[in-house]
Chain A
Amino acid sequence: MTDVRSTLVGQEQLMALLDNTSAVIYMRDTEGRYMVVNREYERLFGVQRENIVGLTDHDLFPKDVADAFRANDLMAISLGSPVRMEEIAPGDDGVRTYITVKFPLMDANGHPYAIAGISTEITERKRAEEEVRRLNEELELRVKQRTAELEASTKELDAFAYSVSHDLRAPLRSLAGFSEVLQEDYADKLDATGLRYLERIEANATRMAQMIDDLLNLSRATRVELRREHVDISATAREVLADLADAHPDRTVDAVVDDGLTTTGDPDLIRLVFLNLLGNAWKFTAKRSDARIRVGNVAHEDGPVLAVSDNGAGFDMRYAAKLFDPFQRLHAATDFEGTGIGLAIVNRIVQRHGGVVWAASEPGDGATFYLRFEDLGEK
């Protein structure tokens, strides 16, 4: 048999329990006079429990702090149930913050005769929270600034591109136009070499016009607002290939596009990607009678990626890093024409879709361009 009394806990034991916690514990009567405090309270406020009995917070703390404590005590008393709140009290190194639970003690008639409080210090957490809040505010401000800067520079780029498209082409039209006029109206006054030079002027003016157009496409790929739509890559690639076949009826190219290639992104920009990649594949296979182009998913270490491959001229892998820079050309203009901007456009668009593009090749053995859009394969 167990003695019932042995399960009861004496006052000394209870006090020991209160004294060995890191929380601040205290009891005051309904007038606010201290009845008991624990050791943590003594330590924290530098008082002895026997000296504090009968005093109120107004004897111990500055008025505003004491007023706040008292108001919280009265609230718990009037509610008649435990209340949880945040309180602040002066400490050695500045203001400290506590999470406090206050609850009234009732007599046999249900009348409150005292109020007990348990306060846990949360100053560190509070400071950390404050720091996070401050950092967030700072970050938000910085994001706002950067966005404004970015908007300003996009606007500037926009104005620049607009001016380029209007003003830079006009003198080229004059160059090409007057070369033509000279060839037509003054042909009898020029010898064959002179006429050939005029043709060269016209050809170069045309080429520069093409470069301006390509640059504008690159800037447009950067500037336009990105749409997020379902894109049928298989259909897009087939349309582009059909256009290429129409434009070059003399070529026979064995082109195969796998079914079911899709992604999420901007349909116009993704079309521009395939216009450039397939245009390149088409161009660089021109010297082969058995030209072959393939578009499909292939296995890669991080899962499937989209591959556009051909069996054309290829390129030297030593220059692969330069491939996606504007105006970088790895072939002589006499072998394959081009302005060297197409892959820069591809790169820009794929980047804007959160994706990556890279290439692999052997000279004379074709090239393969690998694409991974952020959402590639998702429906």
Chain B
Amino acid sequence: MNGGPILLVEDNPDDVLFTVRAFEKNKMQNEVVVAGDGEEALSYLLPPGGEPGLVPSLVLLDVKLPKIDGLEVLRRIRSDPRTAALPVVVLTTSSEERDIVESYRLGANSFVRKPVVFNEFLDATNVLGVYWLLVNEPAPSWRGGEAQA
């Protein structure tokens, strides 16, 4: 089990509320860290010069974000050795082909479109949580909850 936090990169407060609610409903114990834009996400994951926060077990990444967009965040996560193997699920509103193609090209582990109906959203987060936090075996040095070297 990966007990590290879930980093939720999301600028819409309603979506934050629904996602946190869905995790609670699905009885997921992991702490949820919210980053409201791409810049915040990067300063949490890859602080320039500073100490990085707790390594997340999973990153849920929205595409359309203020300042630095989700795809750019993904690109920087993959190009830095400290975060290159982090599981990143793009969780977004759009199902535009270019977003899907670009996400996978940049190394997203998964692409999930947020369903409009909350119950479907609940199912989707449950599947995501079960898979990425319970079933999936992460790369050893990125095991969630361990401090970074």
Contacts and interface: CB of A to CB of B under 8 A. Distances in A.
8 contacts: A162-B98, A165-B96, A166-B64, A169-B116, A173-B14, A173-B114, A174-B14, A177-B121
Contacts, number: 57
A180 B115 CA distance: 13
Contacts of B118: 176-177, 180-181
A220 B63 CA distance: 20
A: interface residue count bin: 20 to 34
B63 A206 contact: no
Given A165-B93, A169-B116, A173-B93, 9 more contacts: A161-B96, A162-B96, A165-B96, A167-B93, A172-B116, A173-B114, A177-B121, A180-B119, A206-B117
Name A's interface SS. Answer: helix
Interface string A171-192: 0111011101100000000000
Interface of A: 161-162, 165-167, 169-170, 172-174, 176-178, 180-181, 202, 205-206, 209, 213, 220
B116 A173 contact: yes
Nearest to A208: B116
B10 to A, nearest CB: 11
Interface string B111-145: 00011111101000000000000000000000000
Q: Give the interface size bracket for B toward A.
A: 20 to 34
Most buried by B among A174, A202, A209: A174
Nearest to A212: B116
Interface centre among B21, B93, B116 (most CB of A within 10 A): B116
B94 A173 contact: no
Between B96, B97, B121, the greatest number of chain A beta carbons within 10 A of the residue's beta carbon is seen for B96
B43 interface: no
Contact of A162 (B14, B92, B94, B116): B94
